[in-house]
Amino acid sequence: MLGTAAAALTENIWANGSVSATGTQWFRFTATASTQFIHIENGTLQALYAQVYDWNGNTVESEGVQSSPGGSGFRYSYSRTLTIGQQYYIRVRPYSSSYSGAYKIAFNASIIPPDTDVTALTENTWADGSISTSVAKQWFSFAATASTQFIHIAFGTLSTTYGLYVQVYDKSGAVVGSEVNLSGTTRFIVRTLQPGAEYYVQVRRYSSSYSGTYTIVFNTIPAPPDAVTLTENTWVSSSISYGGVQWYRFMATAATQHIHFSDSNFSALSYITMYDGNGNVIGGQNSEVEPSGSYSVTSGQEYYIWMAGWQNSGAFSYGIAFNALPFRPGTAVTTLTANNWASGNMSAGTDVRWFSFTATASMQWIHSDFDNENTSILVRVFDSIGNLAYLESRQSLRGGEWLYPGYSDNYRSRSCGVISGQVYYVRVSPPYGNIGFGDYYVGGSGTYWIKFNTSSSP
């Protein structure tokens, strides 16, 4: 059965093969290393089994299967532990009676198939890649520069919806971590490696229906090398298009950091994710970007922000900044003094004003007054690091409570539980929408007044 009818294979040389729907084909080779890799390249045969036998006809490990991996030209490899100098046999048979046709087969001592181009990567330098119906996989190599390495993908013409698969191998061909589909909001993988050791990265297409260009790079942080560095309280102007992404990095200056966006049309931004230095997500991934968001971090450590654009209307310009306060850099803040009114104006439902006060007791009352019965405001109270102040009873602000004219003065005041001696910030903004209350219309524009004290009476 295993005799001279088997075609001889030469290391690193592809041999042509062809089987019918019910047939088999045999090959033989002499092991040149203790670990040998069997490589198969699809032709018209899209799926097959390959079993290795020793010289006595015993099976060597399990039968390798290559099942519909993605069209003609797709290469599949698997390793077997053998005895150097001994002769082995390979039986190839179709995956099922539905499959037949031509293929290629080869063996060598590397996870890299014969005549395969391998692009050497340099840390922090992008390398071009392209996969298509004729190029199903691409290979890259790099020498690890640290025990933790990040591998990043940026999409060119390749669909971000389905993306591509990335697998890391060590020099012996052993897999390092699992294969990952990089697509959508997942743009990097992280692996624990041996500094100085050589590794291979295999990139393969999602399926034969998807092709296009991409770039790849490796480094030691969760952000790619072109991430923009943010400085506290300094705006950075940028733009993003539909399907585009932006990366930022910053050094935390406090235990709570706030990320702010300058444009009122921030809804054109989508998916903001913050990572720590190990690639862990901080605070969860937000699918809807707010004008400002707070994150609990460790002061003195670096963090990384990934953002995507979704508005399908060309490039969208915006500004981004961070600080340790709940309001944007450059925001005017009016200091309130107990029992003294301060004025503000609500115009066309867009004006946001900030006030601050130093608590004089553990319970403070926020009062409002209006020059127009159709005016209303939405009030939030934050502590000095941007946490919403938790307020007492059903009359509490609780992160956003209406203050409106109503029928009596009771509707103009709300109590707020605070810590005496600490600074708090009051955000006054338009209502989220127009609602009715009795005979009064909540909304509109006009002047309002606001003050705080320790009494339920203004």
Could you tell me if 355 and 424 are in contact, meaning their C-beta atoms sit under 8 angstroms apart?
no
- Give residue 243's pLDDT: 74
Phi/psi of residue 376, nearest 5 degrees: -145, 155
Q: Supply 344's token pair.
A: 């503000």
Other C-beta atoms closer than 10 Å to the C-beta of 410 total 9
Strands (E) in 171-231, as ranges, are 175-182, 188-192, 198-205, 212-219, 228-229
Q: Per CATH, is 7-108 categorized as 2.60.120.380?
A: yes
Given a contact cutoff of 8 angstroms between Cβ atoms, the answer to whether 121 and 199 are in contact is no
pLDDT in tens, the chain (458 residues): 565 689 999 999 999 999 999 899 999 999 999 999 999 998 899 899 999 999 999 999 999 987 655 567 788 899 999 999 999 999 999 999 989 999 999 999 999 999 999 999 999 999 999 998 778 899 999 999 999 999 999 999 998 889 999 999 999 999 999 999 999 888 999 999 999 999 999 999 998 888 999 999 999 999 999 999 999 999 999 888 777 889 999 999 999 898 988 765 566 666 789 999 999 999 876 655 566 788 999 999 999 999 887 655 567 788 899 999 888 898 899 999 999 999 988 765 567 889 999 999 998 888 887 776 656 677 778 887 777 775 432 222 222 334 433 333 334 667 778 899 999 998 887 665 433 333 333 455 678 888 899 988 77
How far is the C-alpha of 139 from the C-alpha of 201, rounded, in Å?
6
Distance CA 388, CA 407 (A): 28
Tell me the C-alpha to C-alpha distance, in Å, between residue 207 and each of 58, 113, 117, 133, 163: 36, 20, 21, 9, 10
381 forms bridges with which residues in the sheet? 426
Residue reference for tokens 């203004």: 458
Query: Beta strands 137-143 and 118-120: pairing type?
Result: parallel
> What is the spatial distance between Cα 299 and Cα 252, in angstroms, rounded to a whole number?
5
Residue 245 backbone dihedrals phi, psi, to 5 degrees: -135, 155
Cα angle for residues 370, 373, 379 (degrees, 5° grid): 50
Please tell me the predicted confidence (pLDDT) of residue 352.
Answer: 80
Q: Does domain 228-323 have CATH number 2.60.120.380?
A: yes
Token digits for 154?
């940026």
> pTM of the entire structure?
0.80
User: In this structure, what are the phi and psi dihedrals at residue 7, rounded to the nearest 5 degrees?
Assistant: -75, 135
Q: What are phi and psi of 411, to 5 degrees?
A: -85, 5
- Residue 353: per-residue pLDDT: 87
The candidate with the shortest Cα–Cα distance to 185, out of 320, 317, 307, is 307
Question: Domain 118-219 classified CATH 2.60.120.380?
Answer: yes
Residue limits of CATH 2.60.120.380 in the chain? 7-108, 118-219, 228-323, 333-453
Q: Which fold has domain 333-453?
A: Jelly Rolls (2.60.120)
Q: What is the pLDDT of residue 458?
A: 75
Are 416 and 381 in contact by the 8 Å Cβ rule? The answer is yes
Q: What whole-number distance in Å separates Cα of residue 266 and Cα of residue 232?
A: 20
Sign of CA dihedral 214, 219, 225, 227: positive
Structure tokens at 60: 């060597």
